[in-house]
């Protein structure tokens, strides 16, 4: 399922997908790149100084300095005990597209995008997603006020790795920052029983977004890269853990995610990075 895609005059391909749902075709807010909208240090109207995180690079001193952080380019990802970090890349180009933090019963996929200086974009994206998901056969979607503000909670048809038809619960959260937009998609138990104090929410709060000075079109993904080596306190593992997310129709959401999981992204997973204590 395409979370959203930007479209220029050449009608580009989706940025990234979640399996088993509709494509959300969101056009660029602007036909081109306005360098004036990308002036360093600018904050869109309505975007608060995020003292509680996630943080802009300019506010990095407000983040927990005791945590090791993995430098993935546009995202500095904190290391927490028991939370694995999966780097997801396009198998053809090896371009890193998204980062997924995985816990025992839940996961969260995060990606950062460029946004205009003048205003946030989550309100528009959320309205478009709500309309598209509401029109999808078999899907249910509702709007809630969550730990990071307005969010969408959806259950969409999907297929497990074994090919079984399952229903996958998802929570779509968007956070507007200064010239950036952070998308966080929660899966598994975190999608049906949000706990703002759990480690996955802490991962999102402790993220540092490095927007960079380059002029970028709104909704352009901010570039990610593989680290040369994990920081002290974090180590790389070759095999990634299956991320929880989908459940069979007869599984009660209150019981947590089911035993069959649908992939949260069609791109091959790269190395998994987890904290070692």
Average pLDDT score over residue span 232-251: 44
Domain that holds residue 153: 2-275
Classified as helix, coil or strand, 38 is helix
Rounded Cα distance, 251 and 78, in Å? 33
Q: Count of CB atoms within 10 A of residue 191's CB?
A: 25
pLDDT value at residue 94: 81
From 94, 93, 61, select the one nearest 76 (Cα to Cα).
61
Separation of alpha carbons 245 and 261, rounded Å:
5
CA nearest neighbour of 261 among 8, 58, 18: 18
Q: For position 215, what pLDDT does the model report?
A: 93
How far is the C-alpha of 164 from the C-alpha of 180, rounded, in Å?
37
pLDDT tops 60 at residue 166 = yes
Q: What is the percent of the chain with per-residue pLDDT over 70, rounded to a whole number?
A: 64
Percent of the chain with pLDDT over 90: 53
Residue 130: pLDDT over 70: yes
Which pLDDT does position 51 carry in this prediction?
A: 64
Domain count within the chain: 1
68, 231 in Cβ contact below 8 A? yes
What is the rounded CA–CA span in Å between residue 248 and residue 234? 35
**Predicted confidence (pLDDT) at residue 144 exceeds the cutoff of 70:** yes
Q: pLDDT band at residue 162, thresholds of 50, 70 and 90? A: confident
Across residues 195-219, what is the average pLDDT? 96
């Amino acid at each position: 399922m395409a979370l959203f895609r930007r479209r220029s005059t050449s009608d580009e391909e989706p940025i990234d997908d979640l399996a088993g749902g509709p494509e959300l075709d969101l056009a660029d807010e602007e036909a081109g790149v306005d360098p004036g909208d990308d002036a360093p240090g600018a904050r869109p109207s309505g975007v608060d100084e995020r003292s509680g995180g996630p943080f802009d690079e300019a506010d990095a001193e407000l983040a927990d300095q005791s945590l090791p952080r993995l430098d993935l380019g546009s995202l500095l990802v904190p290391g927490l005990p028991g939370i694995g970090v999966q780097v997801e890349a396009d198998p053809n180009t090896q371009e890193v597209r998204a980062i997924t933090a995985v816990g025992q019963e839940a996961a969260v996929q995060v990606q950062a995008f460029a946004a205009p200086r003048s205003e946030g974009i989550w309100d528009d994206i959320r309205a478009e997603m709500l309309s598209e998901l509401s029109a999808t056969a078999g899907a249910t979607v509702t709007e809630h006020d969550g730990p990071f503000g307005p969010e969408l909670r959806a259950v969409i048809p999907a297929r497990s790795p074994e090919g079984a038809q399952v229903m996958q619960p998802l929570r779509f959260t968007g956070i507007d920052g200064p010239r950036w937009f952070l998308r966080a998609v929660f899966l598994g138990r975190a999608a049906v029983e949000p706990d703002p104090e759990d480690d996955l929410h802490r991962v999102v709060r402790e993220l540092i977004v490095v927007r960079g000075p380059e002029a970028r079109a709104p909704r352009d993904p901010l570039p990610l890269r593989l680290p040369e080596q994990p920081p002290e306190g974090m180590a790389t593992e070759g095999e990634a853990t299956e991320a929880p997310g989908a459940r069979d129709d007869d599984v009660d959401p209150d019981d947590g995610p089911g035993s069959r999981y649908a992939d949260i992204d069609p791109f091959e997973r790269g190395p998994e990075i987890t904290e070692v204590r």
